């Protein structure tokens, strides 16, 4: 967990589960309560990260799995050092869309690179920083695909992967949550957005 004065909250889950919506709702509630909030994402939370995001998600050619994992780690190292740790040191709340658990799920399990190897890479890149709370929004793969289709926008490289890839990702997210129940809050993403937001608020409140 973070040893800084602030609070570090991450949102995780497969594509189409509603992470962005819930992060925005939590940001609004905390801001209304007088807290200073930094809302960010990975990849792409910095200028350097925007360039890396374009490579890992929108590059039309092949990106080797290990290269992909290293690119995510590079983005993470820069992002944590320049955005997240300074905000935590100022006593602010950082709400982040995706963090190292996404790499473990997508590259470790999805790309079959191995959980421990990918996790160790991210922990080295970030100096061992873990969130105070990770909200995992879990959703059936068919329902998630329906949501993505409804967005009416081209799939990125990961969204376009086969169902077997996304099944491995979902299973790994759930395994990670089961291994660290004190850090994770697992929610059924099929529930109404307001119910999910209330559950997140209730878990966050004691941490403030």
Q: Tell me: the pLDDT tens digits for 56-93?
A: 888 777 889 999 999 999 999 999 999 999 999 999 99
Question: Residue 92 carries which DSSP code?
Answer: P
Closest to 52 in 3D by CA, of 69, 39, 37, 35: 69
Write out pLDDT tens, residues 176-201: 999 999 999 999 999 999 999 999 99
CB 23 within 8 A of CB 95: yes
Q: Are strands 184-188 and 133-138 parallel, antiparallel or unpaired?
A: parallel
Strand partners of residue 186? 136
pTM of the model: 0.92
Closest to 104 in 3D by CA, of 130, 81, 79: 130
Mean pLDDT of the chain: 93
Write out pLDDT tens, residues 136-187: 999 998 888 888 777 767 776 777 778 899 999 999 999 999 999 999 999 9
Share of the chain above pLDDT 90, in %: 80
pLDDT at 142: 87
pLDDT at 156: 66
Averaged over 93-116, what is the pLDDT?
97
| Alpha carbon distance 90, 5 (integer Å) | 7
| Alpha carbon distance 105, 108 (integer Å) | 5
> Structural domains in the chain?
7-207 (3.40.50.300)
pLDDT at 145: 81
């Amino acid at each position: 967990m973070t040893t800084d004065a602030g609070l570090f909250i991450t949102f995780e889950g497969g594509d189409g589960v509603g992470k962005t919506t819930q992060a925005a709702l939590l940001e609004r509630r905390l801001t209304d309560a007088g807290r200073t909030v930094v809302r960010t994402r990975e990849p792409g939370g910095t200028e350097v990260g925007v360039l890396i995001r374009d490579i890992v998600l929108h590059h039309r050619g092949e990106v080797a799995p290990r290269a992909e994992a290293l690119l995510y780690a590079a983005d993470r190292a820069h992002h944590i050092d320049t955005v997240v740790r300074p905000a935590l040191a100022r006593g602010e709340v950082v709400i982040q869309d995706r963090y190292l658990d996404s790499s473990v799920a997508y590259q470790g399990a999805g790309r079959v690179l191995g959980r421990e190897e990918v996790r160790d890479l991210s922990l080295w890149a970030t100096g061992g920083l873990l969130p105070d709370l990770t909200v995992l929004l879990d959703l059936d793969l068919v329902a998630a695909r329906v949501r993505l289709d409804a967005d009416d926008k081209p799939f990125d490289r990961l969204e376009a992967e086969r169902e077997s890839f996304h099944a491995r990702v979902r299973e790994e997210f759930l395994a990670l949550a089961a291994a660290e129940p004190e850090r994770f809050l697992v929610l059924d993403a099929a529930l109404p957005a307001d119910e999910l937001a209330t559950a997140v608020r209730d878990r966050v409140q004691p941490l403030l």
